[in-house]
Chain A
Amino acid sequence: MVNTSVTLSGLTLTNPVIPASGTFGYGYEFAEIYDINCLGSFSFKGTTREPRFGNPPPRIAETASGMLNAVGLQNPGIDKVISEELPKLRRVFHKPVIANISGFSVDEYVECCARIDREEGVGLIEVNISCPNVHNGGMSFGTSPESAAQVTKAVKAVTTKPVYMKLSPNVTDIAAIARVCEDAGADGVSLINTLMGMRIDLRRRAPVIRNVTGGLSGPAVFPVALRMVWQVYEAVKIPIIGMGGVSTAEDVIELMLAGATAVEVGAANLTDPWACPKIIADLPRVMDKYGITSLEEIIGGAHHG
């Protein structure tokens, strides 16, 4: 009998598998096809103060072993998320959910986080300071240590639940950003958001994505995510939620060995809607294969000395 449970800042998950924000909506598309209570938790669609349409289409492109998206934080806005999405979600998901919050100003982050913090059923707040697809917001807060610290401090001042800052890989030194978040009071960090990329349509001689650039995700980014989780683990003491191209139970274990306490699964949900339950079901077999009895014991297990 293997033990798959892990604990994030006091929040115990029956397993470390968490669908990543933006690939799981507010849960019901998946609740229609499987019991989503098998998940460790899930991170809901990035939510802002105002409702957003996002970027004009096309906002998706395929890449080798991955995809680009430039959705641009489409969401119904915090009011509707609290009044409609969360009550609907509670009917199908009975575990604490991860609230993913984004913004265009420190005030917006503060207001949204303060409001979502009061919601029963929210176990942890993941603050997205790394969306590459919006202008004057999102990633601009996560690429400078000063503003990352500023958002962290401001959000921590108005919340009681664990706050995890979601970091951008589009920086020179992600460990430095993680460190300032830790110093500013973050309870943990989530990484990585997508890597900025683009494709050009040869027929039209123009970018495939209307926004020109998009965020790269999928198995193509896994080694980059793994490297960054490794570096951040060596730089901070707070827990890490690792993500980036995770598609198999082996990937989960590899990311945990690099230092992740829990693991988010993103693009894989889109190509195989049953990706997460398949990974969860396969974990005991893979743990057995590598002589792992408790997942909690392997966190950072590849760092020696």
Chain B
Amino acid sequence: MTDTVFTILENRPIAKNTYEMVLSGGTEGIRPGQFVNLKLPGYYLRRPISVCDFGPGRLTLIYKVVGHGTEYMAGLTPGAQIDTLTGLGNGYDTAPSGERPLLIGGGAGVPPLYALAKKLLSEGKTPAAILGFNAKEEVFYKDEFSALGVETFVTTVDGSCGVKGFVTNAMDIPYTYFYTCGPMPMLRAVYDKSVTSGQFSFEERMGCGFGACMGCTCKTTGGHKRVCKDGPVLTKEEIVW
């Protein structure tokens, strides 16, 4: 865990209620599937946001405006500074992925899969991605995934873009392993539909984000785990619904 002051370079809407924020600051030690925890003036608890992409000195976050905190974030302009804890959570383990891992993201669960896709590609693997949304106006990063060379499928609940239905409607393709992040009902459906092992990234209301307060503990086959510190990524075998 590192405490860094990041400076906003860009902060723009990329889909309905969805913003992409690019920041400059130290990104050493960040791994795909981890999150950062942002201190916003006037808000007592930090805001945990998954890491979408990172490079030397550059961090990209995608967030959905759902409450006062994210609304405040949407109003921030380039040059604004944010006190940020980085290097939080375990992140994805790419070792068991096989040649053709499948990345399954739903809505605000899509961003962490982007950094993961880049890592898998750098390891010589050929991931495919299924990105699920409610409707066309919510779709984001389809082109960004495609531009990486990842075969990308989009699903929308109302059928306004890509395959009509849920991410599970696009899962009938060959894959060696899977990684998924999204709302709880989607994770459950992916769990039931999947034919290989895989890793799930969870979300929970957190107090601290680094394992001290026990606010976000969940039950797993390996005992009690803190979503923020022992997670947010759990393997399929660890999950207790």
Contact = CB atoms under 8 A, between A and B. Distances in A.
Interface of A: 22-25, 29-30, 32-33, 45, 53-54, 57-67, 69, 71, 74, 208, 218-219, 267, 269-274
A58 B39 contact: no
Contact of B217 (A24, A54, A208, A272): A54
Interface residues of B, number: 26
Contact of A60 (B206, B210, B229): B206
Contact of B215 (A53, A69, A218): A69
Interface of B: 1, 3, 39, 43-46, 69, 85, 204-208, 210-219, 224, 229
Contact of B207 (A24, A63, A65, A69): A69
Contacts of B206: 60
Contacts of B214: 22, 25, 45, 54, 71, 74
17 contacts: A23-B213, A29-B229, A30-B212, A33-B1, A45-B214, A53-B219, A60-B205, A60-B206, A60-B207, A62-B69, A71-B213, A74-B217, A74-B224, A271-B46, A271-B208, A273-B1, A273-B85
Majority secondary structure of chain A interface residues (helix, strand, loop or mixed): loop
Contacts of A71: 213-215, 217
A58 B1 contact: no
Given A53-B219, A274-B3, A59 B205 contact: yes
Contacts of A62: 43-45, 69
A177 B216 CA distance: 33
Contacts of B69: 62
A297 B212 CA distance: 33
B44 A269 contact: no
B213 A65 contact: no
A66 B205 contact: no
Given A57-B204, A74-B224, A273 B39 contact: no
